[in-house]
A and B are shown apart, each in its own frame.
Chain A
Amino acid sequence: MMKRDFYRTSTLDEALELYSKNPETVRFLSGGTEVLRKDSGYEGSDLVYILPLLDRSIQREGKSLIIGGGAVLQDIIDHPLSSEALKNGCRNAASRTLRCMATAAGNIAARRDDSYLIPLLAAYNAEILLMGHGKRTITLAMTSYLQDISNLHGTVITKIIIPDADLPVLQKRFSRSSQGKAAVTAAVSLGNELKVFASAYRTGLVRLHKVEEAAADHGNEQQIIQAVQACFFPEDDISGTSSYKQYLAGTAVSMFLQELRRNGG
């Protein structure tokens, strides 16, 4: 097996430069829970260890919550400024050991269909601050990042910005067992605008516009479920069938809407 390199750089820009020179072989290593997981194929890559270079702080600026790119999920849970919804989202990673290793930024960058955080952060209208080589920085909506990720290789998430940490948001990850594979993760926020997101096997993050429309028309539970069926198309996998996931997403969204409205959202 070919020997690969491991780099620790003094600055993030040096790390980004390394990547820019060898984008085919270099992988950024942060918390490691995705990159170093079994069968991830990391053995074939050069690793650039960036975690020590990333800000681990969590700060409140006005209504915004700013999470450093080096903050692990347990940091967010332990922080007094984190919202309950955000803490609960982090608790979707039910293993404390995993939460002490995995960064929120890494969870976004991994773009897993069963991400612990992505639907929740999307509902929060989260933005991310990226740094590219040459200290180039980009701020964009997390949803845009996920869509454009193929054009954003060679960048690192340095901050996650939740513009309104007080936004009423509900999210749930459905799985058979506490640490089992998620069938569906759904999230709803009810601010000035209703936003509904879901994620499941082979869907990636989906904003359920049709559901938002049905909800705006005060659709009942059945109408919400039908709206989900019209715009959310997960595939069968070990966690369940497509029809189950559609039903579950619709039911969850319907329950979330009721709760948010009941709470004055």
Chain B
Amino acid sequence: MSVHLTINGIPKTVHGDMHENLQKVLKREGYRTVRSSDDGDGFAGSDTVLVDGAPAFASLMVLGQAAGREITTAESLMKGRRLSVIQQALVDAGVVQSGYNIPAAALVLEELFSRTQTPTREEAADALSGIFIRDAGYVQFFHAVELAAQRLKDSSYVTETAPEFRDDLRHVGKVREKVDARKLAAGMKAYVEDFVDPDACFMRMLRSPHAHAYITSIDVSQAEAMPGVLAVITHENCPDVYYGQAGQGFPEPSPYDRRMFNRKVRHAGDRVAAVVAETDEIALEALKKISVKYDVLEPVMTIEAAKAPDAPIIHNSVVEYAAGAPDDLDAYNQTADPRDGKVVYQFPIGADPHANIAASVSGGIGDIELGFSQADKVIERTYRSSQVQCTPLETHVAYTKMEGDRLIIHASTQVPWHLRRILATVLGISENKVRVIKERVGGGYGSKQDILLEDVCAYGTWITGRPVYFRYTREEEFIANSTRHVMDITVKLGSDAEGKITAMYMNVEASTGPYGNHCLTVPMNACSKSLPLIICDHVKFDVTTYYGNIPPTGAYQGYGAPKGSFALMTAMAELAEELGIDYLELIEKNRVREGTMLEILKCLGEGREGSAAPVESCGLDEALRRGLELMNWDEKPVSDDDDIRIGRGFAIIQQGSGLPGLDHSCAYIRMLADGTFMLHSGGADLGTGLDTVSVKFAAEQLCVDMDRISIISGDTDTTPFDTGAYASSGTYFSGSASMEAARDVKTKILQTAAKILKEDVENLQVQYPGVVRGKEGEVSFLDIARAAQSGEGDGELMGYASFTTENFSFPYGAHFCQVAVHMKTGEIEVQKYYALQDCGTPVNPDLALGQIYGGVLKTIGHSLYEQMQFDSRGVCVNPVLKDYGVPMIGDLPKDFQAHLIYTDDPYGPYGAKSISEVSCNGASPALASAIHDAAGVWIRDWPFTPEKILRGLGKIT
């Protein structure tokens, strides 16, 4: 059938099935900005178009409806190479992080401006109400709307979009356009889905309906016989290789406890069979033809159930150690069931899989019993935090193909090099035969640190020789993604009567779910990123992580810290109440300060020995001072509605900046023939602005404008090794590598200039805008490059750096909030949220603010709304964004402010520290104490729902 319609003002005839989803039709016709992130649920807005001028979700339309209509996509916005006023305003306001929904946001804002040239904040929020943004929060979208409104009146209008720092530097600390923002705002080719070739095959996964079962038989013959089916992969024909999906540095602390497919399925949604077919439709049909029989086992859905003496064993496997095997291993393995396969540890992590223990560790300083004996008051509380999903707009996706005898993978990953290593291991090939190209990442938040689908997609290509495209559905994103571990954290605090903490004990019990991704390090991080906030001589912690049959867990922005912070800070607030001491006073008496030696870090190495470290910079003094001032803390507001109580809370927080001693980043930079530069960074920018950080550092070193440096990053063929974008390592590690590489090429530039100028190198300086000046003369970078490549010079000048460090650089923050609790309905309104964040020198101030807004809003969502829920069989019953409860623009705190607290860290590049993860640590404890301040109820488990408040108030029994 043919349909006549108008697309972006041009009459078109589109051929297709009248029933076909309009989003798919438009995508097929080349309108790549009409993306899909909710599979047609009418929620996330990636598929937004205008139909006859009004916004519509293209996935909720079929082609037949479009006949005779005017369809407008975001492709219409850019005129030639020039962004529209609104697109440019979005770029300038700093909202473009992963950027997946920016074209859609630009489109609905264009529609808003077609209705009014002076939109109010409410009108802007309403226009954006159908657009889900997970990374940047929404606050800066209001700035973009204001900016666009002004520029529509006066095209030369400029305004400050973020504060700037470091007058001594040209780029660092200044608001500069994010290097990929223009491309993402315009909707150019950027994401994996944009690089899929027309001859690509499709992969679909048959997943287990049972949370815990053995596959007793699997018949794929009918599926294999279908025309167009190229391969069906199951546990019977997959590589017999054990590995882990956690993208961590080798040797990983996470166990190798899975094959590509396993005879035992360990969560509802676990892999059963993958089909590679010529079309997506054939692949889906083939899944229906696979016959599987299961021996269903009792699922283990809680930590308590996993601990029970007679609990079903998730991994009753043969255990092996690459190093450090215990003496009784043979005896241990006597009871293993071969159907469960193997678990291989690179080194001991305190595991006892036959007791469902995936990992355990204990440690401490001082004498905990002595500390408690010195206390006048001891409290012990348990805090429960649930499984929350990363929900990137771009679901997990991979595209693999062969080029000669090499496997090429276009990946949306945070860890290109770990991905290459794991793929090579699983496929049994060497790493030189694998190329990983990290495309722009449409949201990761930790979940793209794990290798969740790339392995099987690559194997599909390896055995068929065909290009294969595999993308998770939104439901798969819920049931087969890895995300932060469920934790029950018990905190026991001892204090003297004046509020000095004498002893601090934290017992973390976590569920890693079916496999051991990050099973040691995430729960341990709950301790390592919270306990150092409180200075105490006697500290002890125990961490035990259990297997279970919940959906997989792994990394999530903040790692274990948001949960540890929730527990420790809320316990401190509860202790203050018990002591009758002001919570602020209690914190001030015990908190970390600049100069503190963190003895606790001796026992908090992540899978290795730790060491005490000093706090060289700490912005908590200023963060608390400004926060209290902003909140007008001395005057508690009172509601004029008898049913509503106002409460306030705060928390201090910290994180790290990468993993000193573990992380490793490399970069090189080439001086091109005209004196400009190509920077090759191993860093994996997942939307945070890491590439911009790297370019700024290099430009700062080389005294040139940023547009004189282009960057390639995260490509294993064309950039050097980097451990990846996790643990808040980007600025500190990858950024430092770029800075040092630039410093290295600067040395070579000076050496070449010395020959040209015939002056001593010691007398030469690189100066803006890219010249070398000596005592006698000067020479431009252009002339230096030409001389170097003249046939008589040193060739292309290149700088290289490999960056490692043992020095810690801790970001800190103080978060304040004010809530209104309706005492009759339990409803919670977040009236104010102020996040004051010390990230050292804010390298990209506008982007840093966006990171804070995004991190905070995510954690407000985790604390108040988001919840994966399961039926009695362990099946997730709400695997859609709406029912899961992600916050939208309508859930923003009424007054939401992020503030950057400047400190000059001696270790971070240009004094910078990390920003991306620490922002996630404050909302939960701040909200918990604010709710208590308002309603007198302590809520100790996520999410803090109105129902729990009403139960706490005794309104419901």
Contacts and interface: CB of A to CB of B under 8 A. Distances in A.
Do A and B belong to a common assembly? yes
In this complex, the member of B65, B281, B861, B887 whose beta carbon has the largest number of chain A beta carbons within 10 angstroms is: B65
Looking at chain A, what size class is its interface with the partner chain? 35 or more
Nearest to B957: A243
B121 interface: no
Interface in A4-32: 4-6, 8, 29, 32
Interface in A231-265: 238, 240-241, 243-244, 247-248, 251-252, 255
B395 to A, nearest CB: 14
B676 to A, nearest CB: 43
Contact of B42 (A49, A98, A176, A178): A98
Given A47-B62, A238-B869, A179 B890 contact: yes
A51 B891 CA distance: 32
B56 A100 contact: yes
Interface stretch (A60-68, A89-97, A119-127, A128-136): A89-97
Contacts of B577: none
Interface in B868-898: 869, 877-878, 880, 882-883, 885-891
Interface string B125-150: 01101110000000000000000000
Nearest to B40: A38
A176 B950 CA distance: 13
Nearest to B128: A96
Contacts of B946: 174, 176, 244, 248
A101 B864 CA distance: 29
B831 to A, nearest CB: 15
A97 B285 contact: no
B36 to A, nearest CB: 10
Given A3-B17, A8-B64, A176 B41 contact: no
A180 B880 CA distance: 10
Q: Which one of A51, A97, A243 has the greatest number of beta carbons of chain B within 10 Å?
A: A97
B19 A244 contact: no
Contact of B888 (A33, A179, A248): A179
A244 B18 CA distance: 45
Contacts of A221: 824
A192 interface: no
A177 B865 contact: yes
A97 B55 contact: yes
A5 B62 CA distance: 12
B888 A177 contact: yes
B129 A96 contact: yes
A32 to B, nearest CB: 5
Contact of B56 (A43, A101, A180): A101
B882 A178 contact: no
B867 interface: yes
B864 A176 contact: yes
Contacts of B825: 174, 248, 251-252
A3 B40 CA distance: 20
B890 A49 contact: no
Interface in B57-71: 57, 59-65, 67
Contacts of B956: 241, 243-244, 247
A248 B951 CA distance: 12
Contacts of B933: none
A241 B61 contact: no
A8 B64 CA distance: 8
Given A174-B825, A180-B885, A94 B890 contact: yes
Contacts of A29: 62, 65
A36 B281 contact: no
A180 B950 contact: no
A32 B947 CA distance: 33
B559 to A, nearest CB: 25
A235 to B, nearest CB: 13
B129 A94 contact: yes
Given A1-B285, A38-B40, A176-B945, A32 B882 contact: no
A210 interface: no
B45 interface: yes
Contacts of B824: 221, 251, 255
Given A180-B882, A244-B956, A247-B956, A94 B888 contact: yes
Interface residues of B, number: 61
B496 interface: no
Nearest to B887: A177
Nearest to B877: A238
B38 interface: yes
A49, A176, A221, most chain B CB atoms within 10 A: A176
B360 to A, nearest CB: 33
Interface in B929-949: 943, 945-947
Interface string B434-473: 0000000000000000000000000000000000000000
Contacts of A251: 824-825
A176 B865 contact: yes
A101 B887 contact: no
A177 B955 contact: no
Contact of B130 (A36, A43, A95, A243): A95
A6 B62 contact: yes
Interface in B32-50: 38-43, 45, 48
A221 B63 CA distance: 52
A255 B825 CA distance: 10
Nearest to A240: B947
Contacts of A51: 65
Contacts of B957: 243
Contacts of A42: 19
Nearest to A98: B42
Interface in B260-283: 281
B108 interface: yes
Contacts of A100: 54-56
Contacts of A247: 950, 955-956
Contacts of B55: 96-97, 100
Nearest to B123: A96
B506 to A, nearest CB: 29
Contacts of A255: 643, 824
B651 to A, nearest CB: 22
A91 B607 CA distance: 51
Interface in B696-724: none
A47 B108 CA distance: 29
19 contacts: A1-B285, A5-B18, A6-B63, A32-B62, A36-B59, A38-B38, A47-B62, A49-B65, A94-B129, A96-B127, A97-B130, A97-B131, A98-B57, A100-B55, A178-B129, A179-B43, A221-B824, A244-B946, A244-B947
Interface of B: 17-19, 21, 38-43, 45, 48, 54-57, 59-65, 67, 108, 126-127, 129-131, 281, 285, 643, 824-825, 827, 861, 864-865, 867, 869, 877-878, 880, 882-883, 885-891, 943, 945-947, 950, 955-957
A-B pairs with lowest CB-CB distance, top 6: A97-B130, A178-B890, A6-B18, A6-B64, A95-B130, A177-B865
